[in-house]
Amino acid sequence: MITKTGLRAGMALGAMLTLPMAAIAQPANEAAPAAAAKATYSPYAARKYPMRPLFGDTHLHTSASADAGAFGTMLGPREAYQFARGEEVMASGKQPARLSRPLDFLVVADHSDQMGFFPDLQAGKPELLADPTGKKWYDLIKSGQGAVAAMEIIGSFSQGTIPKALVYAPGTPAYQSAWRNMINAAEEYNEPGRFTALIGYEWTSNTGGNNLHRNVIYRDNGDKAIQSEPFVTMKPWGSDDPRELWKWMTAYELKTGGKVLAIAHNGNLSNGRMFPIIESFSGKPVDKDYAEQRAKWEPLYEVTQTKGDGETHPVLSPNDEFANFERWDFGNLDASSPKKKDMLEFEYARSALAKGLKFESELGTNPYKFGMIGSTDSHTGLAAVEEDNFFGKTAPQEPSPERMTATFMNNPKTGIKIMDWQVGSSGYAAVWANENTRASIWDAMQRRETYATTGPRMVVRFFGGWDFSKSDIQTRDLAAVGYGKGVPMGGDLRAAPAGKSPSFIVAALKDPIGANLDRVQIVKGWLDAAGKTHEQVYDVVWSGDRKVGKDGKVPTVGSTVDVANATWTNTIGASELVSVWHDPKFDPRQRAFYYVRVLEIPTPRWTAYDAKRFGNTPLPGTAMTITERAYTSPIWYTSGG
Amino acid sequence: MTPTEPAPADLTDPDAAAGASRGRRWLREPLLHFLLIGVALFMFYRALNGAGDEAPRSMVISESRVDALAENFARTWLRPPTAEELRGLVDDYVAEEVYYREAIAMGLDRDDTVIRRRLRQKMEFVTDDVNSAVPVTDAQLQAYLDTHREQFVGPGKVTFEQVFLSRDKRGDGVERDATQLLERLASPSPPSLLDVGDATLLPGSMRDATPADVDNTFGAEFAEAVMKAPAGQWSGPIVSGYGLHLVRVEKIEPGALPGLAAIRPAVEREWQAQQRRQAKEALLEQLLSKYDVKIEGPLGDAMRAAATAGAAEGKR
């Protein structure tokens, strides 16, 4: 496999001894304020902060996931790691696939329920075929109707109707060997400093088709992870209640001395359950215990992925002209129940962050104090979400002339129909880790020093403090100033000095091979004295000499996209945007959060590349351009803290 | 499925398998062939005469088989079977064996994709198992490393400084500015680096960076150019997606092959992968050699034509 991928992979293998971050040197004449307390001769010696974000995917399924396997995914975790490391692999549809650049890390997060079920079903294990449903799925798969089987598997799992004989539960030899196989694969491909294979799984709580999924990510190596099997939702072995997952996490840490965290995703398919004020399992209001547990175990939220973007929704943010983005608001995960407007506020990150402030004022803990990451949730074993290199969400959606007009999901009972073109080519997780190791990446996740991108690898810095000024951004090393005088994304500002309002350094650098940037915004949310939450989006820095309009907004950057040829030019936008921003309406008594949204200039969406390369005609209404973006973890201000 | 059900792999009685291997030499005896033909003719004529009263075939259920059935039961129920239960287990096993033999005799396995795939998989598992059972030695890995150097040679490393000139800020004048600045930097009294170029989030310098590191930060074209830039002097401009860069490379180290100790896990992983692949290919090759495969129809014709043409090409 390596032999074919040539120089790049070879270089990469050899690079394992080098920590990439260490390579970026700091200008010699400028001492980092962070290190100013005790100056060292070597300007590198005291530097304790990351110089380059690591890009990866925290949410990739392989053939070990029952539904992915049924969809026809042949790639297991080893192939997934090879691909993420930059090697060329053969996709399930037998076409070669390769990333433009390697990723720095990957979490293979296969569904804990039924883990390993699919390889056995595919192999035709007699026990599975003895069951009529198992036999039916097997026949469907063998007759080339894997997608139908996959939908049935997801459906029967969501609705709890999966036959007893087909349950793969912890404690069974089949399950144990499946988990051991996942761990072994991660151990084989984990190369500290070069490529990190974090151990993880997805806990797929999906009662009634309402998505409450969480990815569990281990800080630990295989020796600890193997000591306990993943938590499942299937009773009696597991539960679909997040509180029970948190108990399992507690028990794991007690038993092994290890560390785990959980990342929820796709609130947009939870039908109002992802960020509750009333717990759906008990029917009781969220209490102090729930708030504390959730805050403890879930420091991050996956805010963008193939099944839609989760930052905010036009109904929730009517004044945000960029809110209508890669929207999936049809219903729940299996399209068995349609969406109602009043569900939205409990599904999206921005409104949840605001609700969190209110909870904190009432319960003393903010259950929704999360940072942001993006990931793929691809079920192909391929973490490929660049628009010009999108390998789809499931194996049938790998590049083909059919995928742009095919149906992804169709529930005649609810009338919900989702087309393949609506699947988004998104996203990745960017992590400000000091080193490319399991421990270092996990620690950065835990302190929320992360951001989400919808695919491009832009570099985004965000620091909050009380003393940032314009002169700070003239420096050649923003990070030194940022860490020296403030806190990075994911951090806290407390106790405002009298008469001061918080100041923020925002800085964004375009993807080295990507599109220019349109603008950088700060999204502020706050809680007023009456207990009401508010939000506002500020344009902070933008390309060109556009003047703020009467509506207070910066006019659109325009577009250079040639849809027919799937091209664009960097003749508009800026390659780099940096600024210092002061909150003009700061009230030291009000709790608030601030996060950064970076917008690229419009570029061709994956559908445009498909239309160009396959020469086919998109369905009416197909989105052909995209405004790619990044969302940082917030910085919170807490009064009197 | 239940946790302790016997693996489906357990279709052959180990005793019977051992007997089969001992018997293999006999299979080549001409006398045996003669006898077998005789028996076959005998059976054929009996069948023609409609006689159904053939002597019963023997089925031996060995003591170890009975013990294994009892053990399986105990693993599920956490107690040994009673005598009655054990008889039931044995009866069931006999029934299974009878059905199995008769089904095989009738060729029911042949057109069943499930059974065929499963058997193929078992064959492949055997080779996988054989491989993972053998511990790899340092000598083997060293040999692999020696013959696959290109896979493990470390990348080159570069240490350089760069001055950035923003196209966003300078517009069309950026090339002219770059040329002028290059002259100043090369002059006997160069300006301080802090006073020239445009502020940027890009690092002003990189130390011992691999081409991949440089690529990740500046893009591929820049990375390629900087690895070729002359050491010890200012050169450029190099164009990146951000603008223009003047660079001064301090040193470029060519890639070196690390010792085995430093990269043993990676070498072992690649070695194992190669072993698995080779063993699988070898097994298939070996098995294929026992067959003369003929594919019929237009496809077969086309394949034969291609093979003949290929052979003729080879001769020339």
Q: Please write the tens of the pLDDT for every residue from A402-434.
A: 999 999 988 888 889 999 999 999 999 999 999
Please tell me the distance from the alpha carbon of residue B49 to that of residue B290, in angstroms, as a whole number.
37
Mutation test of the interface with chain A: which of B1, B76, B249, choosing the one with the most A Cβ atoms within 10 A? B1
Give the pLDDT band of residue B5 (cuts 50, 70, 90): very low
* Predicted local distance difference test score (pLDDT) of residue B18: 39
Query: Is the Cβ pair A514, B241 closer than 8 Å?
Result: yes
Q: What is the pLDDT of residue B44?
A: 60
Average pLDDT, whole number, for chain B? 79
Q: How far apart are CA A93 and CA B236, in angstroms?
A: 45
Backbone angles phi, psi at A338, to 5 degrees: -75, 160
Assign A206 a pLDDT band (cuts: 50, 70, 90): confident
List the single residue in A with minimal CA-CA distance to B202: A509
Q: Which residues of B touch A138 (CB under 8 A)?
A: 114
Of A184-188, A314-318, B187-191, the least confident: B187-191
Closest CB from A23, A165, A189 relative to B206: A23
Angstrom distances, CA of residue B101 to CA of B91, B117, B244, B306: 15, 19, 78, 43
| pTM for this predicted structure | 0.76
- B76 close contact with A: CB closer than 8 A: no
Give the pLDDT confidence score for residue B314 in this predicted structure: 57
Collect all residues of chain B within an 8 Å Cβ-Cβ radius of residue A511: 241
Contact of A448 with A633, CB cutoff 8 Å? yes
Between A88 and A36, the higher pLDDT residue? A88
| Tokens representing residue A458 in the block | 């832009």
Contact status, residue A618 vs residue A405, Cβ threshold 8 Å: yes
Mean pLDDT lowest among A28-37, A288-297, B31-40, B101-110: A28-37
Please give the Cα distance from B264 to B145 (Å, whole number).
Answer: 9
pLDDT for residue A121? 74
Q: Does B163 touch chain A (CB under 8 A)?
A: no
Round to whole Å and give the CA distance between B58 and B89: 19
Task: Write B274-282 long-range contacts (CB < 8 A, 24+).
Answer: B274/B144, B275/B131, B276/B127, B276/B128, B276/B131, B279/B127, B279/B128, B279/B130, B279/B131, B280/B124, B280/B127, B280/B128, B282/B127
- Rounded distance between C-alpha atoms, residue B224 and residue B207, angstroms: 16
DSSP label at residue A495: S
- Shortest distance between the Cα of B195 and any Cα of chain A, in A, equals 11
Give per-residue pLDDT as tens, A59-80.
999 988 877 777 778 888 999 9
Q: Which residues contact A546 (CB under 8 A, 6 or more apart)?
A: A554, A555, A557
Mean pLDDT of chain A: 88
Residue B220 touches chain A, beta carbons under 8 Å: yes
Residues 6+ apart with CB under 8 A from B257: A14, B145, B149, B152, B153, B154
Measured from the Cβ of residue A123, the count of other Cβ atoms closer than 10 Å reads: 16
Percent of chain A with pLDDT over 90: 68
∠ CA A517-A522-A523 to the nearest 5 degrees?
Answer: 125
Q: For residues A240 and A18, which has the higher predicted lDDT (pLDDT)? A: A240
Indicate the helix (H) or strand (E) that contains A289: helix A288-297
Nearest to B219 among A18, A123, A512 (CB): A512
- The nearest alpha carbon in chain A to B166 belongs to A575
Say if residues A199 and A182 touch (Cβ distance below 8 Å).
Answer: yes
* A152-156, A363-367, A440-444: least confidently modelled range: A152-156
d(CA A51, CA A48): 9
User: Does the distance separating the beta carbons of A12 and B167 come in below 8 Å?
Assistant: no
Instruction: Report pLDDT for A28.
Output: 39
Query: Residue A279 is encoded by which pair of tokens?
Result: 């717990």
Contact A129 B114 (CB under 8 A): yes
Chain B residues with beta carbon closer than 8 angstroms to that of A165: 1
Whether A21 has a pLDDT exceeding 50, the answer reads no
Cα(A69)–Cα(A394) distance, rounded to whole angstroms? 9
pLDDT for the residue A15: 37
Structural contact between residues A277 and A290, judged by C-beta atoms closer than 8 angstroms: no
Taking only the tens place, the pLDDT of each residue in B224-251 is 999 989 999 999 899 999 999 999 999 9
Chain B residues with beta carbon closer than 8 angstroms to that of A3: 148, 151
Sign of CA dihedral A449, A454, A457, A460: negative
Q: Among the residues of A486-524, which ranges form H helices? A: none
pLDDT value of position B308: 85
Provide long-range contacts, Cβ within 8 A and 24+ apart, for A290-296: A290/A243, A290/A367, A291/A359, A291/A363, A291/A364, A291/A365, A291/A366, A291/A367, A292/A365, A292/A367, A293/A243, A293/A246, A294/A242, A294/A246, A294/A367, A294/A368, A295/A365, A295/A366, A295/A367, A295/A369, A296/A246
Mean pLDDT confidence for A247-254: 95
CB-nearest to A10 from B150, B167, B262 is B150
Residues of A in contact with B262 (CB under 8 A): 17
Distance from CA of residue A598 to its chain's centroid? 16
* Chain A nearest-CA residue for B212: A12
User: pLDDT digit string (tens) for B123-135?
Assistant: 766 666 555 556 7
Length of chain B, in residues: 316
Residue B234 DSSP SS3:
strand
Domain ranges of chain B: 14-51+58-111, 154-253
For A131, the closest chain B residue by CA position comes to: B1
Query: How far apart, in whole angstroms, are the C-alpha atoms of residue A124 and residue B120?
Result: 12
Cα–Cα distances in Å, from A624 out to A171, A325, A409, A559?
Answer: 48, 13, 21, 12
**CA A225 to CA A239: how far, in whole Å?**
20
The reply to whether residue B151 touches residue A475, judged by beta carbons under 8 angstroms, is no
Residue A594: strand, helix, or coil: strand
Q: Closest Cα to residue A302, out of A291, A310, A314?
A: A310
Strand pairing category for A428-431 and A450-453: antiparallel
Q: Residue B77: CB partners within 8 Å, gap ≥ 6? A: none
A8 vs A372, more confident: A372
Higher-scoring residue by pLDDT: B299, A202: A202
Residue B313 burial (CB count, 10 A) = 8
The pLDDT value recorded for residue A20 is 40
What pLDDT score does B109 carry?
A: 84
pLDDT of B48 above 70:
no
Quick check: helix, strand or coil at residue B313? helix
pLDDT for B284 beyond 70:
yes
A22–B255 C-beta distance less than 8 A: no
Q: What is the mean pLDDT of the segment spanning A321-326?
A: 96
| A141, containing H or E segment | helix A132-142
Q: What is the pLDDT of residue A411?
A: 87
Helix B113-133 vs helix B260-288: angle between axes, to the nearest 10 degrees?
A: 140
Res A328 pLDDT > 60:
yes
CA gap A160, A153 in Å, rounded: 10
Q: Is the pLDDT of residue B21 over 60?
A: no
pLDDT grade for A12, boundaries at 50, 70 and 90: very low
Q: Give the pLDDT of residue A566.
A: 97
Average pLDDT over every residue of A203-228: 91
> How would you label B234-245 residue by residue, b for 16+ Cβ within 10 Å and e otherwise?
bbbbbbbbbbbb
Please, which pLDDT band fits residue A13 given cuts at 50, 70 and 90?
very low
Can you read off the two tokens belonging to residue B95? 């029934």
- The lowest-confidence range among A129-143, A480-494, B258-272 is A129-143
Q: Angle at Cα A92 formed by Cα A377 and Cα A76, nearest 5°?
A: 65
Element at A616 (helix H, strand E)? none
The neighbouring-strand residues paired with A463 are A488, A505
Q: Using an 8 Å Cβ cutoff, are B279 and B130 in contact?
A: yes
Calculate how close chain A gets to B170, using CA atoms only, in Å: 12
Q: Partners of B135 in the beta sheet?
A: none
CA dihedral A10, A12, A14, A15 (to 10 degrees): 160
Which residues of chain B are within 8 Å of residue A505 when distances are taken between CB atoms? Answer: none
- How many other CB atoms are found less than 10 A from the CB of residue A107? 28
- Cα gap A79→A101, rounded to integer Å: 16
Q: Out of A128-132, A529-533, B43-47, B60-64, which region has the weakest mean confidence (pLDDT)?
A: B43-47
Question: B237 CA to chain A: closest CA distance, Å?
Answer: 17
- B245 touches B206 (CB < 8 A): no
Q: Do B117 and A123 touch (CB under 8 A)?
A: yes
The answer to whether A135 and A129 are in contact (CB under 8 A) is yes
- Bigger pLDDT: B74 or B117? B74
% pLDDT > 90, chain B: 27
Is B167's Cβ below 8 Å from some Cβ in A? yes
Instruction: Write phi, then psi, for A186 (nearest 5 degrees).
Output: -65, -40
B168 CA: distance to closest CA in chain A (Å): 6
A7, A8, A18: which to substitute to probe chain B, counting the most B Cβ within 10 Å? Answer: A18
| Contact between A613 and A565 (Cβ < 8 Å) | no
Q: Is the pLDDT of residue B47 over 90?
A: no
pLDDT at position A45 is 60
Q: How far apart are CA A246 and CA A253, in angstroms?
A: 11
Higher pLDDT among residues B285 and B131, named by residue: B285
Query: Tell me, what's the pLDDT at B136?
Result: 83
Contacts of B260 in chain A (CB under 8 A): none
Chain B residues touching residue A123 (CB < 8 angstroms)? 117-118, 121
Give the tokens for residue B214: 């440089």
Domain B154-253 sits in CATH 3.40.50.10470: no
Q: Are A558 and A572 in contact (CB under 8 A)?
A: yes
Which of A524-533, B62-71, B112-121, B205-214 comes out lowest in average pLDDT? B112-121
B19: pLDDT strictly greater than 80: no
pLDDT confidence tier of residue B7, bands split at 50, 70 and 90: very low
For residues B25 and B15, the model is more confident at B25
In terms of CA atoms, which chain B residue is nearest residue A86?
Answer: B212
**Of A267-271, A293-297, B18-22, B214-218, minimum mean pLDDT range:** B18-22
Distance CA A535, CA A533 (A): 7
Q: What angle do CA B258, B261, B262 make, to 5 degrees?
A: 50
Res A37: pLDDT: 46
Q: Does B195 touch chain A (CB under 8 A)?
A: no
Q: What is the pLDDT of residue A481?
A: 92
Give pLDDT, residue A36: 41
| Position B259 pLDDT exceeds 80 | yes
* pLDDT tier at B199, thresholds 50, 70, 90: confident
Write down the residue that tokens 């489906």 correspond to.
Answer: B8
pLDDT at B22 over 50: no
Residue B194 contacts A, CB cutoff 8 Å: yes
Which range (A143-147, A331-335, A491-495, B136-140) has the least confidence?
Answer: A143-147
